[in-house]
A and B are shown apart, each in its own frame.
Chain A
Amino acid sequence: VNRRLVTAESVTEGHPDKVADIIADTLVDNHLQTDPGHTIACDIVVTTGLVVVAGHLSPALACSLRDTVTHAIATIGYSESVGFSARQVMVAHIAERSTESTTANISPLTARGFACDETVSLMPLPAVLAHALSSQLAQCRHNGTIPYLRPDGKTQVTVAYPENEPPYVHNVLISSQHEPEIDHRELQQAVTNAVIRPVLPPGMRTERTLHLVNPTPRFVFGGPAADTGLTGRKLAVDSYGGIASHGGNVLSGRDPRRASRLLTYAARWMARNVVSAGYASRCSTLLVSEDDHPSRKPRVYIDCHGTNRLAADEILSWLRSSFEFDLFELAACLAPPDLNYRRTAAYGHFGRPNEMFPWETAMPVRNQP
């Protein structure tokens, strides 16, 4: 049987790159609460015993930086472990110039978005499954279902799409950091029972599905002590699992009202609305803005990969007439200052059914095509 294999991966909140993203978006949240008149952009490096924050921080944020960082690390679960812990960490701040400037950014900004009708959250199935596994794995750690898990973890799912048959899981992979004194076999059983079984629908696993739970013999040493983490290094995990282009804009640590993050959310928002309106099964969007001036209206382009039920030109003119927003209006719709952006930093910025992210809602439709 001819079949297509599509793979997506996800990581837990304890993965080093995600630790960096979470610290960055915690800073964004605090910034929006204390100093919303200015914008923020910060980059983070996390490694053994060290967190480096590079960026311009307001005085209030700079003063509380250590508390913010250690709190973020503790909520992830790095409170006791060796090598990286909220109890012993050096927090270094590289002060950058203020990003305020009267000169507009005149090189063009682009952003990409995607949606498909494969799942209710309008996301590709492998990405949804991988995130669900990561999130369930972290939950089993937080609520004590599997008490010996540690925060670092990764998941990966390959879905097979046979011709004219429903898709099934070809292989599933979970690696979780764990306490030293555990039985490897028991860990594999526990993760299979408490993570894989509840998440993967029974119909999707077949007897041929390869299950790999902790294929490495030992994963005690993990997190930022084992691997250096950086903000913006998990963009595929943040978006569509590598299945569709995400445009390359770093999200975490960037002010959500800044064009690069804002346009990325807007691109998903538009793609999602094309698919939810039933005009296409798959939709990729490209937004291009000549500069980052608030009155700038980004240009919109779409590609429905041949799945459109309406001429692409008609969909495009519907999008343009219905959602002709400038950057200021987009920010008002998609970047509310009271949203918890830290929640976007792990398990994906898109298709999160339990979160109320504004870019995952229906747009106020003004016109019918």
Chain B
Amino acid sequence: VTDIGRLATSLSAGHVDKLADQISDAVLDAVLEQDPLGRVACEALVANGGVVLAGEITTTAQVDLSKIARHTLRQAGYDSLATGLDADSCAILLAIDHQSAEIAHGAQQSYEYRATASADQLDRLGAGDQGIVYGYASNENRGMIPLPVWLGHRITETLDDARRTDSLALSPPFRVFVSPCGSDNSLHACEVTVFGHTPEPTTSGEVRDKVSAAINEIATRLAIGIREPEVRLDVPLRALGHPQHSSGATGRRLSHDTYGEAVCHGGGGLSGKDATKTDRSGAYAARWVAKHIVASGAADRCRIDIAYAASVANPVAINTEFFGTEHIASRQIMSAIDEVFDLRPAAIISELDLNSVAYLPTATYGHFGRDQLQFPWEDCAKLDEFQGLLGNRDSGQTERTAGDYSPKQEEAL
């Protein structure tokens, strides 16, 4: 392993933490469908025998939470006692509350609005909470995310589809482990290992062959060189994240959901949160910006970090990292970012139209690099504008932070 960040694990939809993420996002989707302005922070705990749903939801929508949870479990493969969890007869405990009026108020009337009576509507919505979000993109593949992460998710997705259509006798929880084995960092060679469990051990040879064939086909299609995959179907369910053996929770698989462990993440969970939470909308915006930077050719690899403060609309800090791959002066890129992208929560929500996204598909196989799904944060809609600015500007650092908007310092030193 030449670059220790680049090992990747991809989890199937039947993994207990992923079940929790899917239930949270299914609840979010159900609320937004009826009430696009609904406020949702839905957390799920999946345990032996059922699900605990907790969190804060403020909405006019009428949703049947337990029905949503059961449907999600069934879709993920837990549809009978034989699977270890029967979606129709398991327990669903509900402990849902309203969003605190104070948090809602703080978000609705931002610091900028209160401090300067800013007339800008986009200044009105403050960040729901503090936190740091990271966005990343690299030009190493079509998905623009680290190759092992991308390959792992594409394999898991294909195997899960085959399992759902009953063409593959695999238990719902399995994982795909991808480690780069190329001698250089271009890494167009990977080692793939599948850890799974087959409910019918007598046919495991056949299942193994099907899995290997599917993986080889994906690798060929994506033009990624891989060694002969290793397929282990004798892994006990307890080692795979099966709900009968371990409990799982929403927001526990953040590296898995984003860019793998080579890239930082700020620690804020994504699934189950509506777009007024910058943990989610900020992370999407950061990805959107990073993707523009790479797509424009300004840099081959890019990470952007954005820090928010509760109730403040403008980010308190923005930082970029190009890992030495930039082709244009970094301050020039920074100034183009500042010109083109408005990173206030209200602006992000409207630019990316985050109130009308279906979020459930993000809860499995990654939020980024999903070129089939046309998520708005993957669409470089402002590429022309961004590229135009890169060509002809070299102004000084003009990053905009909340400090520039406050009338004076909170406290003299």
Interface residues of A (CB under 8 A from B): 2, 4-9, 41, 43, 45, 47-48, 50, 52, 54-55, 92, 94-97, 99, 101, 103, 105-108, 110, 112, 154, 156, 158, 170-171, 173, 175, 188-189, 192, 205-213, 215-222, 225-228, 230-237, 242-245, 247-248, 250, 284-286, 288, 301-303
Interface residues of B (CB under 8 A from A): 1, 3-5, 7, 9, 41, 43, 45, 47-49, 52, 54-56, 93, 95, 97, 100-103, 105-106, 109, 111, 114, 126, 129-132, 134, 175, 177, 195, 232, 234-236, 238-240, 244-256, 261-267, 269, 305, 307, 309-312, 316-319, 321, 330-331, 397, 401-403, 406, 409-411, 413
In contact, B130 and A175 (Cβ under 8 angstroms): yes
In contact, B4 and A303 (Cβ under 8 angstroms): yes
In contact, B402 and A106 (Cβ under 8 angstroms): no
From known contacts A94-B48, A217-B311, A248-B255, infer whether A105 and B239 are also in contact, taking CB-CB under 8 Å: yes
Name 11 extra pairs, CB < 8 A, besides A50-B54, A54-B48, A171-B403: A2-B330, A2-B397, A45-B54, A54-B52, A171-B316, A210-B401, A220-B102, A226-B56, A233-B269, A236-B267, A302-B4
Taking CB atoms, residues of chain B closer than 8 Å to A112 are 261
In contact, A156 and B254 (Cβ under 8 angstroms): no
In contact, B56 and A210 (Cβ under 8 angstroms): no
The distance from the CB of B132 to the nearest CB of chain A, in whole angstroms, is 5
In contact, B247 and A54 (Cβ under 8 angstroms): yes
Contact among B97, B130, B245 for A48, CB-based, below 8 A? B97
In contact, A171 and B317 (Cβ under 8 angstroms): yes
Contact among B1, B43, B331 for A301, CB-based, below 8 A? B1
From known contacts A5-B305, A219-B102, infer whether A248 and B261 are also in contact, taking CB-CB under 8 Å: yes
The tally of CB-CB contacts under 8 A between chains A and B is 255
Whole-angstrom distance between the alpha carbons of A215 and B232 in the complex? Answer: 53
Contact among B52, B129, B132, B402 for A210, CB-based, below 8 A? B402
Whole-angstrom distance between the alpha carbons of A231 and B249 in the complex? Answer: 8
From known contacts A212-B316, A233-B269, A301-B4, infer whether A103 and B309 are also in contact, taking CB-CB under 8 Å: no
Contact among B43, B232, B406 for A106, CB-based, below 8 A? B232
Whole-angstrom distance between the alpha carbons of A130 and B100 in the complex? Answer: 25
In contact, B54 and A9 (Cβ under 8 angstroms): no
Whole-angstrom distance between the alpha carbons of A211 and B332 in the complex? Answer: 28
In contact, B319 and A110 (Cβ under 8 angstroms): no
In contact, B254 and A228 (Cβ under 8 angstroms): no
In contact, B265 and A242 (Cβ under 8 angstroms): yes
